[in-house]
Amino acid sequence: MPSVIDPTSTLGELVNATPTLAAHLDQLGLDFCCGGHRSLVEAVAAAGLDLDEVHAALAAVSSEPDPGTVAWVEMSPVELVDHLETTHHRYLSDTLPHVGALVDKVTAVHRDWHPELVTVRSLVAELRADLEPHLLKEERVLFPMIRELAASGASAPRFHCGTLANPIRVMLTEHDTAGDLLARLRAATANYSVPEDGCASYHALYAALAEIEADTHLHVHKENNVLFPAVLATEAALEHGAS
What does pTM read for this prediction? 0.90
pLDDT of residue 1: 36
pLDDT of residue 137: 96
pLDDT of residue 88: 98
pLDDT of residue 242: 55
Distance (Å, rounded) from C-alpha 80 to C-alpha 76? 6
Domain boundaries, the chain: 11-59, 72-242
pLDDT of residue 47: 94
State the virtual CA torsion across 61, 9, 237, 232 in degrees, nearest 10: 70
Give the tens place of pLDDT for each residue, 95-104.
999 999 999 9
Torsional sign, CA 22, 37, 216, 203: positive
Distance (Å, rounded) from C-alpha 215 to C-alpha 29? 15
Q: Let me know: does 28 contact 237? Beta carbons within 8 Å.
A: no
pLDDT of residue 238: 86
pLDDT of residue 3: 40
Torsional sign, CA 2, 219, 147, 164: negative
pLDDT of residue 135: 98
Spans of the chain, pLDDT less than 70: 1-3, 62-70, 154, 241-243
